[in-house]
Chain A
Amino acid sequence: MRPDRKRRLVLAVAGIIIVAFALSPSAVRAQKDPNALKFADLEFKAQKPGMTAIKKGVTFYFKEDHEQPVIKGTIIIKTGTLYEPADKVGLAPLAMRMLKAGGTKTLTADALEEKLDFLGSTIGSFAGLEYSEISLWTLSKNFDETWKVLLDILYNPAFDPARFDTEKKKDLESIRRRFDYPTSLGFTLYTELIFGKDFPETRRTTSAGINALTLDDIQTFYEKNIRDKEIIIAFTGDFKQAQAQTLLKKDLKNWKGIPPAKLDLPKAALAAKPGVYLIDKPDMTQSVIIMGHLGLNNLDPDNVEVAIFNFILGTGSFNSRLMREVRSNRGLAYATGGMIGLGRDKGMFNNFCMTKSQSVGEAIKLMKDITEDMTKNPVTAGELEVAKKYEVNAFVHKFDSAQAVVSQAIYLKLDGYPDNHLDTYLPRIRKVDTAKVLAIGKKAVHPDDMVILVVGKKAEVIDQLKALGMGEVTELPMPKE
């Protein structure tokens, strides 16, 4: 056989084999099976924002992004509701809102709003627990004017009395509307059961408290907690770093940057007696169930590894046990989830679902079994693998915009995470094994401490709750506000 004929024959035979294989059921299946795909490695390096000290007590984080003619700027102040006196709950958010709502010494509140709306810019401010923000969003062409307004708000707030009355009345109405949604009622009261009513993270506004707040309180809060305090400034978007630095040096030359007072905050301890609690909402056809206890500290040695535990328990969507069992296998709920949360002293361990009145008992038992199992038995190798692959492959999404890169870096730093936290994240995830997941379960989940809150129609759920065998059902009164 001549070499070329031989070669052609070989090719023809190979062709037949390939075609036959391609048409075989297993080959067809392989073509339709995503598990058969192979992927090139992802070229990716975790991004970091730029950071520099403008002066003592004024730090600047930045990341330029010129794709859109837009600038977002944020000033973070180390103050918040944890800094409120215990008898002035609600002061921090009101003060932060009044910075803008109350106008400035050069712009009335009406004129200030008119100006920003005309520019298409926004300035917003809010108070968090430990940190509060004033932020601006503007087209880059309008940055100068918007920045001037923000500086005016920061340096010269006027706290207009008429606007103070409006803002207080908004707060009073929010209190009236606080429990309009069964879920907001449930999560508010659950948090209170876990930490107690007077815990700084939990205490909530009352109408008497809001009514008692005065403009002097606002002025005092501003002077004590905002004016001249240590701040972090973040810019992302269509600006030039060098120009921004020059601007900040000039405009914040006289800002003192004083560190905040050291807070002496209490430690968390489970406030409610473990057991079953009920709030009767006679109109409801569906109950809200929330169960759990205290969680872990932000800086717990397992604060990365806990993501794997949480994924398998309840944050991994349909790959989590709660979603799989409560929703997918049994159709008991549309929304369900659960996690060990991290917090200043402790976060919360919570698991939730919303289910029809008739299946409340079944859902509680199921959720309880799922959480308890994670303290007794190792998760499967398959569950672990999916959770770890997710963490590794989805890591890139943590850096999907300039804003995400900057804001993540700032808050990790503020919460006390080490500078190399994101560098060590994946190596730590890769090391997690089933023993580690079980150890986290044993450490952080305490079935005997479980507090179970149900918001639903008592007449339809009470027998199911009694049948749980968890002792008396404590009925909580519907809070007045």
Chain B
Amino acid sequence: MKIPRLLFFRLDRPFGSSYALRLTLLLLSFLIVFSLVHPSVSGQGFADKVKEFTLANGLRFFVYERPQVPTFAGMIMVKVGSVDERKGETGLAHFFEHMAFKGTSVMGTRDYAKEKPILEEMDRIGDELAAEYLKGDRADQARMKALRDKLDKLQQETLAFAVKDELDKLYTENGGEFLNASTGNDSTQYFVMLPSNRLELWFLIESERLKDLVFREFYSERDVIAEERRMSLDNTPDGLLRDEFSNIAYVLHPYRHTVVGYMEDIQSYTKATAVNFFKTFYIPNNMVAAVVGDVRLEEVRRLAEKYFADIPRGADPPRPTEIEPEQRGERRVTTWFEAEPRFLMGYHMPGPIDKDNLTLSLASMILSRGSSSRLYRDLVTNKKIAVSVFASASAARYPALFMIMGQPRHPKTVQDLEKTVLEHLDRLKKEPVTQAEIDKSINQAEASLYRSMGFADNVLLAMRLLRNVIIFDDMDADWKRVEALKKITPEEIMAASNKYFTDSNRSVGILLRKERGGEK
């Protein structure tokens, strides 16, 4: 699946059902547009519809009563993503998200007392294996194989006590739909839709996996994640290009690595590292929850107190200390894959706290929003240089990139595409955009606040609501940002374009077919 942006989410239960696939597509499209103006489903904002309360331990709940259909979506979003990982531990947030489905001392086992010592023995061997692996080319391969065999044998022994994937079974047999979790650069979220009479089930399962999680299948899950990486990054043109592009666009900031992490790190996490990660970030004051659908505020509050209030507050988690150094020269990377050419271009831009973040958002809409936009009209419709071209401005926890991505149309090349894109960026620097273009973009941005309704509405509403809170600490941030667009002037767009779209602030990534310099 093509995901034309760098800051993205991984959904972790793919193809479970056609519903899951549809939801995946929808969420992805939602998240893609989100980067532009934080659009979505309810235009007037949430404030008059959503009630909020906070438990004594700091866990914030948002309740949106929508009684039309007797279902609800429950979502917990944790402010931890790949950006919170340290070197050598890339992919840990995502890896942990997989662990969160492995059960508790009650769910997923017939006899935890007997299972526990085997799990502990596995950890001892797992630590030895990781230590050996990290010796790199000096690692003793025979010893590693022996340790892996031991782990496999012990894993088999645990099966005598296991009730495999019981958490999934419990949700599913109770009518859970869209059961999934996703990890992104900035956050990790767990969600499911259930019939409204199963509200307490959601509270019980979600609270228990925070209070009493057992890290089962820790070592065998590495294989699954390795396959996930092969499937989504290593064996797809867009994944490969995105991975390599990030590695040059950032030199220091942890947005540099993709969510799934480097294969080398995936193979070497220890249980202790993962447990420590969990204890550091999965604390009530670092997460927010939304319940959207046919529920009542008072009942949600009662159940929240009953199930979540006894989770102790934790110390504020450490945050990345790396500030991306100013880029002082153009960077380029070429990747090769058996596919037609692709093009990515990125400029470092400020985060949401800076007004230019919004100014560049508006610039991205003028460039590529809709078929009458500048880039689409010129490159796709008229000059036929590309079959797709798309610009997006980031709005994330930390400053990220203004991205332009496209696919050239044969016989035109990535060089043709790049040249024309640069001409358009130059035009933004030299000529003020018209007021009509600004008005059109604002109309589109407003309309997009209402989009996506009609399928899995409750999940999407919960996602939008919580993301507003995690990134902007304001449930109506998206609406307010669209309002703020109205104050941006053509001169400000020109100034921001001159400031950020410079040669030395640019990174370019291209993908070519190996033979004949790039194409079939």
A interface residues with partner B (beta carbon < 8 Å): 29, 32-35, 37, 39-44, 47, 65, 67-70, 72, 110, 113-114, 116-121, 137-139, 163, 165-166, 169-170, 172-174, 176-177, 180-182, 236-237, 281, 283-286, 315-319, 323-324, 327-329, 331-337, 354-356, 385-386, 389-390, 392-397, 399-404
Contacts and interface: CB of A to CB of B under 8 A. Distances in A.
Given A42-B70, A403-B454, A396 B172 contact: no
A173 B451 CA distance: 30
Contacts of A139: 446-447, 450
A317 B71 CA distance: 21
Contact of B410 (A176, A284, A389): A176
A317 B454 CA distance: 24
B32 interface: no
A319 B444 CA distance: 42
B16 interface: yes
Contacts of B70: 42-44, 396
B212 interface: yes
A248 to B, nearest CB: 21
Given A177-B407, A317-B172, A69 B43 contact: yes
Interface in B309-368: 337-340
A319 B447 contact: no
B195 A236 contact: no
Interface in B203-239: 204-205, 208, 212, 217, 220-228, 230-231, 234-237
Given A32-B208, A317-B172, A397-B177, 6 more contacts: A34-B201, A72-B454, A323-B16, A389-B173, A394-B175, A394-B176
Contacts of B382: 166
A169 B14 CA distance: 33
Contacts of B340: 173, 176-177, 180
A72 to B, nearest CB: 6
A121 B443 CA distance: 9
B241 to A, nearest CB: 11
A317 B101 CA distance: 13
Interface string B441-459: 0011011101101111110
Contacts of B446: 120, 139
Given A68-B43, A332-B227, A393 B174 contact: yes
A42 B454 contact: no
B196 interface: yes
B370 A117 contact: yes
Contact of A42 (B105, B165, B196, B519): B196
Contacts of B436: 118
B177 A180 contact: no
A420 to B, nearest CB: 21
Given A34-B205, A318-B168, A397-B19, A334 B228 contact: yes
Interface string B372-415: 11000100111010010000000000000000000101100000
Which of B106, B227, B237 has most A Cβ within 10 Å? B227
Contacts of A42: 70, 195-197
Contacts of A395: 175
A40 B170 contact: no
Contact of A285 (B13, B195, B235, B455): B235
A39 B230 contact: no
A32 to B, nearest CB: 4
Given A117-B370, A286-B227, A324-B164, A37 B200 contact: yes
Contacts of B18: 315
B172 A316 contact: yes
B434 interface: no
A397 B19 CA distance: 10
A327 B228 CA distance: 11
Contacts of B440: 114, 117-118
A110 B198 CA distance: 51
Nearest to A400: B69
B388 to A, nearest CB: 9
26 contacts: A32-B107, A34-B204, A37-B201, A37-B204, A67-B68, A110-B377, A113-B372, A120-B447, A139-B450, A169-B384, A172-B410, A173-B410, A176-B340, A180-B338, A283-B337, A284-B235, A317-B17, A328-B224, A331-B220, A331-B221, A332-B223, A334-B227, A354-B235, A396-B175, A397-B177, A400-B457
A110 B372 contact: yes
Contacts of B451: 137
A404 B455 contact: yes
Contacts of A355: 227
A116 B226 CA distance: 45
Given A68-B453, A119-B443, A29 B14 contact: no
A356 B195 contact: no
A386 B172 contact: yes
Interface string B469-510: 000000000000000000000000000000000000000000
Contacts of A399: 69
A47 B69 CA distance: 10
Which of B179, B237, B387 has most A Cβ within 10 Å? B387
Contacts of B205: 34
A397 B387 contact: no
B169 interface: yes
B369 interface: yes
Contact of A286 (B101, B235, B369): B235
A390 B340 CA distance: 43
Nearest to B229: A334
B42 interface: yes
Closest 8 CB pairs of A and B: A393-B175, A120-B447, A331-B223, A317-B16, A403-B454, A180-B339, A117-B370, A334-B228
Interface in B78-134: 101, 104-107
Contacts of A116: 370, 372
Contacts of A356: 226-227, 230
A178 B216 CA distance: 40
A118 B173 contact: no
Which of B15, B41, B107, B456 has most A Cβ within 10 Å? B15
A15 to B, nearest CB: 20
A390 B448 contact: no
A172 B447 CA distance: 33
B193 interface: yes
A286 B204 CA distance: 39
A324 B161 CA distance: 16
A110 B369 CA distance: 15
B454 A40 contact: no
Nearest to B237: A180
Nearest to A386: B173
A202 B302 CA distance: 55
A166 B384 contact: yes
Contact of B234 (A67, A72, A285): A285
Interface in B1-35: 13-20
A170 B164 CA distance: 48
A319 B222 CA distance: 20
A34 B170 contact: yes
Given A44-B70, A120-B443, A39 B14 contact: no
B273 interface: no
Contacts of A285: 230, 234-235
Contacts of A397: 19, 71, 175, 177, 193
Contacts of B164: 318, 324, 328-329
Contacts of B193: 397, 400
